[in-house]
Structure formats: structure tokens, C-alpha cells
Chain A
């Protein structure tokens, strides 16, 4: 999948498999910075029903590394590591359950 470089103040998000079918897109650019914990609600706001149909059983990568999705509504606790923020120029991907072979 190819995607153009995001414009200033944006990151690229790639939609694979069912994520691509649901959004009707292979990729797009979204405004950065965006806290990772806001990603799913941002997508749900754009594509109603995406959370239940796609995101709840997908994984997320940022720049080819898997990231843990924080629990929704969970406030950061004392001593917890810095929350992940998606930055300008990052490449984020929605990874639904895989099916090679």
C-alpha cells in the first residue's frame, strides 16, 4: 500500500483489510498531534460503528511498532509512563486479525 507524505500538522493512517472496507479508503491524513487514547474515538466519530466492527479486534502500529491501546476513559495514574502521542509525520496503521498462508 502506498501513501503520500502527510501535509504539515498531520499523520498518515493506513486501513488494512476490514478497516479499509469499512472506511472505503486505504489511507488518509489526520490532524496531529493526537493522543493515542483519542484515536479510536476520533475514528468512531468519522466512521460510526467502526469501533465495534473493526477497532475492538484490531491492533495498532505507529511507525511499524505495535503500541498498547490505553483503556478508554482510564485516567493516567501516578507514576505511569508518559502517554503515547501520535506526532506529525507518523505512520499509524490499523491491523485487523491476520490471515496469511
Chain B
């Protein structure tokens, strides 16, 4: 399999990204579908014996309430800066060979991926730990917001990760 990233197709929306080539950290935001192979290819290395891939997918309910529609918005320049800082810190801590994190924005249909994180390291233990830490750090502080619409009279709700409770109602 080639390690080259796939060339963007002409109709694909632009990917907003930042990278640190020295530590092989790559972070990105896109309105398009997420592609597992291309994010895995970004961290492949002949020195890595393990790649851990996390795929976060959108659920059809929150606390038993049916979610009809779900969308993400972001403060792109700040979110990318935070994502790069998280990946750089984790890469150094676990001596990774590579780490890549991409988050989807806009409407994400239920069951599709909203985030992919790929991590490579010489041995699997560090890759497992780094993958989990990267996700938890991202959820705690990256400037991205999820709006869930339940289809009922109450409208949409901005989710807040930090308390797991219902966020601010819209309108």
C-alpha cells in the first residue's frame, strides 16, 4: 500500500490542516467524509510495530432520547492549534512514530465517523495509551461544538463534554 496521501478529488471540500513534520503530527478539520486508510497511512512507519486507530461515530440517542440530526461547528484556527499542541505533547510523552487526528464538521449523519485518531509506535502498549489520551484531551479542550437536534418541540441542544449533561437549548 502506498504511503502517499490520496490526491484530493476536484469536488472535495478543502481540508483545513496543520502539521509538525519533525514529530510526524498531523491534525485536520473537514466537512467531507472521513477516510480511515488515508489517516492510517499518515502514521505508518517501518519502525512502528503497532498502529492504533480510533473511530468515533455519531450515536442515534442521548440518554434515551432519539437524535434526529447532529452537527459540529468549530473555531478552526484555534481548534487546529489546540489539536496540534495535544498531539505534539502526546507524541513526545509516548515516543510515538506518528499521530494524526481529523475531525469532521457540519452535519454528520447518525452512524458515520465524526473523529479519527491514528497513532503509531514501536510497541502496542504506548499506542493504546496514546490513542486514548489523545481522544480524552481532544474532547476536553478542542474548540469544536456539537449541536444535537431531537426533532421535538425543544429544538437543538449544544452538548457540553465536561459535565455530560444537556447543554444550552437553542432558541
A interface residues, Cβ below 8 angstroms from B = 1, 14, 16-18, 21-22, 53-54, 61, 64, 93, 95-101
**Identity of the chain A residue whose Cβ is nearest the Cβ of B147 in the assembled complex:** A17
Q: Determine how close the nearest CB of chain B comes to the CB of A82; give it in whole angstroms.
A: 24
Chain B residues, Cβ within 8 Å of A17: 73, 145, 147, 158, 167-168
Chain A residues, Cβ within 8 Å of B72: 100
Interface with A: B31-39, B42-50, B89-97, B135-143, which one?
B135-143
**Identity of the chain A residue whose Cβ is nearest the Cβ of B138 in the assembled complex:** A100
A100 touches B144 (CB 8 A): yes
B75 touches A100 (CB 8 A): no
Most B C-beta atoms less than 10 A away, residue of A1, A14, A17: A17
Q: What are 13 A-B contacts with C-beta separation under 8 Å?
A: A16-B75, A17-B168, A18-B167, A18-B168, A61-B78, A93-B75, A97-B160, A99-B159, A99-B160, A100-B142, A100-B145, A100-B146, A101-B114
B153 at the A/B interface (Cβ < 8 Å)? no
Cβ contact of A16, chosen from B73, B135, B167, B170, cutoff 8 A: B73
Query: Measured between alpha carbons, how far is A64 from B77 in the docked complex, in Å?
Result: 8
Q: Determine how close the nearest CB of chain B comes to the CB of A61; give it in whole angstroms.
A: 6
- Secondary structure dominating the interface of A: loop
A100 touches B161 (CB 8 A): yes
Chain A residues, Cβ within 8 Å of B143: 16, 95, 98
B168 touches A1 (CB 8 A): no
Chain A residues, Cβ within 8 Å of B156: 21
A101 touches B78 (CB 8 A): no
A21 touches B171 (CB 8 A): yes
A101 touches B115 (CB 8 A): yes
A100 touches B168 (CB 8 A): no
Q: Determine how close the nearest CB of chain B comes to the CB of A73; give it in whole angstroms.
A: 26
B147 touches A100 (CB 8 A): no
B163 at the A/B interface (Cβ < 8 Å)? yes
Query: Measured between alpha carbons, how far is A100 from B135 in the docked complex, in Å?
Result: 9
Chain B residues, Cβ within 8 Å of A14: 75
B158 touches A101 (CB 8 A): no
Chain B residues, Cβ within 8 Å of A53: 168
Chain A residues, Cβ within 8 Å of B159: 99
Cβ contact of A98, chosen from B114, B115, B135, B141, cutoff 8 A: B141
A21 touches B170 (CB 8 A): yes
A99 touches B163 (CB 8 A): no
Query: Measured between alpha carbons, how far is A98 from B138 in the docked complex, in Å?
Result: 9
B167 touches A98 (CB 8 A): no
Query: Measured between alpha carbons, how far is A96 from B142 in the docked complex, in Å?
Result: 11
A18 touches B158 (CB 8 A): yes
